[in-house]
Amino acid sequence: MASARKSRGESLLLRYLVLGTWALVCLLPILWFLSIGFRPRTEVITPQPIFWPTFSLDAWHLLMSDWPIAMYLRNSVIAVAGSVVIDLILAIPAAYALARYDFKGREDIGFYILSTRMMAPAIVAVPIFFLFKTLGLLDSVWALMLIYAAINLSLVTWIIRSYMLDIPKELEDAARTDGASDLRILWEIIIPACLPGIITAAVIAAIFAINEFLFTLLIASTANAYTMSVALANFTGGSDGIIYNAIALVSFIAFVPILILVILIQKHLSRGLTMGAVKG
Amino acid sequence: MASIHLQNIVKRYGGFVGVQNMSLEIADEEFLVLLGPSGCGKTTTMRMIAGLEVPTDGKIMIGGEVMNDVDARDRDVAMVFQGYALYPNMSIYENIRFPLRMRGVPASEHDARIRQAAEMVELGAYLDRKPAALSGGQRQRAALARAVVRQPQVFLMDEPLSNLDAKLRQSMRVQIKHMQRQLKVTTVYVTHDQIEAMTLADRIVIMNKGAIQQVGTPDEIYSDPANTFVAGFIGSPPMNLIEGTAQGGRFNAPGVSAPCPSNVQGKVTLGIRPEDCRIGGDNVQGLVYGVEPTGDTTYLTVLAGTKKIEVKAARDYRSDIDVSIGITFDPARLYFFGQDGERIRGVA
Ligand SMILES: Nc1ncnc2c1ncn2[C@@H]1O[C@H](COP(=O)(O)OP(=O)(O)O)[C@@H](O)[C@H]1O
Ligand SMILES: [Mg+2]
């Protein structure tokens, strides 16, 4: 008994050691970034190793005074949040219809919707550019909102649909005999029952939207519509050369919202991704 | 309160016939039980009455009105589902309240009615809980309360007790019957458990393969079965069915010989219930195959030829196996069925 407990304790220790090492390997680049971001510019680029780094807010002050970061963040938030709202408004009824109503070509429509996601985005880049140009929507966050919504709509629909398929049919039958209309059933029974799926889909869509680069670069040409993802790529630090500590800090700022989103849904994330993709 | 009429109801799924040509009259305030093996079309029938399934053919009337084109939400029918179907995100209180809200019952009446329904199923203390925090029996009662609170014209219950353990099932059975008598609501109850059917029903409808086999009171079904299916389905252990030949007023099978009416001729099946057999005599000449004491009775299995015959014996009856034994049938309790399985009614 005692020896069994001891070996159990040892294996637990070993497990934490292995996991801890792996976590350190994964987290090291992030810590490195942070340390670069909060050190003086010159210290970051000296070739000599430095054992006792100096703390400095130089890069932070530079960013705050020189770079419209608030604008970029605002653009990101508006475009991403707006696109997720549009996605949910469109995807929830679509997913419900695909999950429950029996109509001709249901499976084909379902697959067609998903297949729009399989295409390489670059293929439609040029037509989209001209489309938005004609519509007078270039260089606007509203255009980005529409694009993000369009890109993620199929995936969001598919994920929510797969959660809806898991809801017992009896629940809807019960609501119907209780006197509820279809919209009531959707609103009061289905949506609450697949709320975890809806949240998961929303967060996944938000992460994809935050990271979207190609179309953002195409549509946004000034700080008017730049989001963090494009601004970050264009950022070199300023007029006098590449400023590494500022770049590191900007990267970290761009990384934080995604980290928060992932932590929020990590429990559902793998289920959402695999189910949405695999379950037909 | 309402009567229900089913007129030549058919339900086909593609080429498969789920329910075939079913006609049934259910009286106002009646407790009717649909009984049959799994897959025989009980749920389908019930769902057609509820309006959740559209019959391929035939007419459904509730309270004298044709219901075929009336949506489920507009039929005044409350259904209890096999899986309870409680709304997981709502408290028990909100679950019971849902049909009141959906049907536009004035909000001022809600609280009193919910509490009354909950009291009726002894669930008053659990109104704040979510369904997930209740036991199976409590969920079952919550589902009942949700059906009761509306005061509907018809109750439909689809195997409501099948997920409960035996002891709970017995007490819930009594509770359901009491409630139905108290509320006087026409009730259709589906089950594959013959004990439930016998104890609850005013009348039983026995179904097999989508077709009605027999309709009658529990007594009629038990003592006057229409065919071998009904005879073999009801009773535990069920009726012994022995295949043999009848000639000149005598039925013969290996190890079995019994008198029969003169109109019974040729290849027939003899039916005799275990409790209508007595030890001793010579209707059966066989060997003791096994003895099963259950406490209040003992079941004896006798091997006659290759056929096993169940006999209900005295509670203290004991025997070794492979001992030869004779059995007498109560001559007034013999049933004969033709080759098609239908009962041959005696001219006696
Ligand atoms: N939607 C459906 N599509 C095809 N067949 C069905 C459908 N619903 C039920 N059935 C079939 O109809 C028969 C009767 O089903 P059901 O009424 O559920 O049986 P029971 O409730 O008596 O067990 C079964 O064989 C079942 O497979
Ligand atoms: Mg069933």
Q: For A185-226, what is each residue's pLDDT tens digit?
A: 999 999 998 888 898 899 989 989 988 888 888 888 887 888
Smallest CA-to-CA distance from B97 within B121, B116, B82 is with: B116
pLDDT-derived band at A238, boundaries 50, 70, 90: low
**Do strands B186-191 and B31-35 pair parallel, antiparallel, or not at all (unpaired)?**
parallel
Instruction: Confirm or reject: Cβ of B38 under 6 Å from ligand 1.
Output: yes
CA angle B266, B267, B268 (to 5 degrees): 105
pLDDT-derived band at B333, boundaries 50, 70, 90: very high
Ligand 1 centre from B13 Cα, in Å?
9
Smallest CA-to-CA distance from B197 within B218, B213, B215, B178 is with: B218
Q: Does residue A278 surpass a pLDDT of 60?
A: no
Atom in ligand 1 nearest the alpha carbon of residue B16: 5
Residue A277: predicted pLDDT: 40
Percentage, residues of chain B above pLDDT 70 = 99
Q: Does residue B103 surpass a pLDDT of 50?
A: yes
Report the range out of A8-12, A100-104, B322-326 with the highest average pLDDT. B322-326
**One domain for residues A30 and A75:** no
**One domain for residues A30 and A82:** no
> Is residue A184 in some structural domain?
yes
> Is residue A52 in some structural domain?
no
> Is residue A51 in some structural domain?
no
Answering whether pTM is above 0.90, one says: no
Query: What does the pLDDT look like over A193-202, one tens digit per residue?
Result: 888 889 889 9
Residue A1: predicted pLDDT: 46
Torsion of CA A216, A217, A221, A222, to 10 degrees: 70
Average pLDDT of the residues in B298-320:
94
**One domain for residues B52 and B93:** yes
pLDDT-derived band at A240, boundaries 50, 70, 90: low
**One domain for residues B220 and B251:** no
- Indicate the top mutation candidate among B13, B53, B56, B194 to test ligand 1's pocket, ranked by most ligand atoms within 8 A of CB: B13
CATH number at residue B50: 3.40.50.300
**One domain for residues A162 and A26:** no
Closest partner CB to A179 (pick from B81, B82, B102): B102
* Average pLDDT value over all residues in chain B: 93
| Residue B296 per-residue DSSP state | S
CATH number at residue A170: 1.10.3720.10
**One domain for residues B186 and B246:** no
DSSP alpha helices (H): ranges in B121-275? 136-148, 166-183, 194-200, 218-223, 228-233
**One domain for residues A82 and A17:** no
Closest protein CA for atom 8 of ligand 1: B44
Atom in ligand 1 nearest the alpha carbon of residue B47: 17
Smallest CA-to-CA distance from A154 within A76, A210, A94, A207 is with: A94
**One domain for residues B222 and B245:** no
pLDDT-derived band at A243, boundaries 50, 70, 90: confident
Instruction: Confirm or reject: Cβ of B11 under 6 Å from ligand 1.
Output: no
- Within 8 A of A174 by CB-CB distance, chain B residues are 79, 81, 85, 87
**One domain for residues B199 and B264:** no
For residue A3, the number of C-alpha atoms closer than 13 Å in the C-beta half-sphere is: 0
- Is the Cα torsion angle B100, B105, B107, B113 positive or negative in sign? negative
pLDDT-derived band at B346, boundaries 50, 70, 90: low
**One domain for residues B218 and B140:** yes
Percentage, residues of chain A above pLDDT 90 = 31
**One domain for residues B75 and B193:** yes
**One domain for residues A33 and A65:** no
- The structural domain count of chain A equals 2
Residue A242: predicted pLDDT: 80
Tokens linked to B31 = 């407790």
> Is residue B344 in some structural domain?
no
Task: Determine the residue type at A193.
Answer: A
Total count of residues recorded for chain B: 348
pLDDT-derived band at B196, boundaries 50, 70, 90: very high
- Within 8 A of A188 by CB-CB distance, chain B residues are 87, 98
Query: What does the pLDDT look like over A23-51, one tens digit per residue?
Result: 999 989 888 888 888 888 888 778 887 77
Neighbours of B288 (CB within 10 A): 18
Query: What does the pLDDT look like over B52-82, one tens digit per residue?
Result: 999 999 999 999 999 999 999 999 999 999 8
Neighbours of B26 (CB within 10 A): 22
**One domain for residues B186 and B250:** no
Give buried/exposed letters for B143-170 (b at 16+ CB in 10 A, else e): bbbbbbbbebbbbbbbbbbeebeeeebe
Report how far residue B347's alpha carbon sits from residue B96's, in angstroms, rounded to the nearest whole number.
Answer: 57
Q: Which residues of A touch B (CB under 8 A)?
A: 168, 170-171, 173-181, 184, 188-189, 192-193, 195
Neighbours of A79 (CB within 10 A): 28
CATH number at residue B322: 2.40.50.140
**One domain for residues A30 and A144:** no
State the ligand closest to the CA atom of B158. 2
For residue A125, the number of C-alpha atoms closer than 13 Å in the C-beta half-sphere is: 12
| Residue B219 per-residue DSSP state | H
Closest partner CB to B52 (pick from A176, A192, A195): A176
Structural domain ending residue among the three candidates B229, B252, B281: B229
Smallest CA-to-CA distance from B62 within B151, B152, B143, B160 is with: B152
**One domain for residues A192 and A267:** yes
**One domain for residues A128 and A260:** yes
Residue B287: predicted pLDDT: 95
Q: Which residues of B touch A (CB under 8 A)?
A: 47, 50-52, 71-75, 77-79, 81-83, 85, 87-89, 98-99, 102-103, 146, 150
Structural domain harbouring A24? 2-37
Residue A67: predicted pLDDT: 79
Q: Does residue A272 surpass a pLDDT of 70?
A: no
Structural domain ending residue among the three candidates B187, B209, B229: B229
Report how far residue A97's alpha carbon sits from residue A103's, in angstroms, rounded to the nearest whole number.
Answer: 9
**One domain for residues A142 and A175:** yes
**One domain for residues A144 and A21:** no
Tokens linked to A177 = 């005999």
Average pLDDT of the residues in B176-194:
93
**One domain for residues B329 and B305:** yes
Average pLDDT of the residues in B282-287:
94
Residue A19: predicted pLDDT: 93
**One domain for residues A75 and A27:** no
**One domain for residues A26 and A114:** no
- Indicate the top mutation candidate among B43, B45, B191, B233 to test ligand 1's pocket, ranked by most ligand atoms within 8 A of CB: B43
Smallest CA-to-CA distance from B40 within B21, B17, B56 is with: B17
Ranking A84-93, A177-186, A268-277, B137-146 by mean pLDDT, the lowest is A268-277
Tokens linked to A266 = 């990590």
Residue A4: predicted pLDDT: 52
> Is residue A274 in some structural domain?
yes
Higher pLDDT, A279 or A266: A266
Smallest CA-to-CA distance from B34 within B152, B203, B217 is with: B203
Smallest CA-to-CA distance from B135 within B163, B159, B99 is with: B163
> Is residue B345 in some structural domain?
no
CA angle B75, B30, B161 (to 5 degrees): 80
Residue A79: predicted pLDDT: 94
Decide if B73 contacts A176 (C-beta within 8 A): yes
Q: Does residue A2 surpass a pLDDT of 60?
A: no
Report how far residue B111's alpha carbon sits from residue A130's, in angstroms, rounded to the nearest whole number.
Answer: 61
**One domain for residues B222 and B170:** yes
- Chain A residue closest in CA terms to B72: A177
Cα R_g (chain B), whole angstroms: 24
> Is residue A48 in some structural domain?
no
Report how far residue B145's alpha carbon sits from residue B155's, in angstroms, rounded to the nearest whole number.
Answer: 12
Instruction: Confirm or reject: Cβ of B172 under 6 Å from ligand 1.
Output: no
Residue A279: predicted pLDDT: 36
Q: Cβ contact (<8 Å) for A171 and B85?
A: yes
**One domain for residues B20 and B151:** yes
Average pLDDT of the residues in A237-266:
80
Higher pLDDT, A61 or B51: B51
Task: Determine the residue type at B254.
Answer: P
**One domain for residues B22 and B121:** yes
Task: Determine the residue type at B304.
Answer: A
Smallest CA-to-CA distance from A161 within A61, A92, A70, A223 is with: A92
Smallest CA-to-CA distance from B304 within B320, B326, B272 is with: B326
Structural domain ending residue among the three candidates B229, B250, B272: B229
> Is residue B315 in some structural domain?
yes
Query: What does the pLDDT look like over B204-223, one tens digit per residue?
Result: 999 999 999 999 999 999 99
> Is residue B158 in some structural domain?
yes
In the sheet that holds B4-13, the strands lie side by side as: B16-26, B4-13, B57-62, B65-66
Structural domain harbouring B302? 238-337
pLDDT-derived band at B129, boundaries 50, 70, 90: very high
- Is the Cα torsion angle A41, A44, A47, A50 positive or negative in sign? positive
Q: Is B235 left (phi over 0), alpha (psi -120 to 50) or beta?
A: left
Report how far residue A164's alpha carbon sits from residue A99's, in angstroms, rounded to the nearest whole number.
Answer: 6
Higher pLDDT, A277 or A107: A107
> Is residue B342 in some structural domain?
no
> Is residue B348 in some structural domain?
no
Report how far residue A162's alpha carbon sits from residue A199's, in angstroms, rounded to the nearest whole number.
Answer: 13
**Do strands B65-66 and B57-62 pair parallel, antiparallel, or not at all (unpaired)?**
antiparallel
Closest protein CA for atom 2 of ligand 1: B13
Instruction: Confirm or reject: Cβ of B42 under 6 Å from ligand 1.
Output: yes
Total count of residues recorded for chain A: 280
- The structural domain count of chain B equals 2
Tokens linked to B46 = 């019930």
> The complex's ipTM?
0.85
> Is residue A197 in some structural domain?
yes
Report how far residue A175's alpha carbon sits from residue B73's, in angstroms, rounded to the nearest whole number.
Answer: 8
Decide if B89 contacts A190 (C-beta within 8 A): no
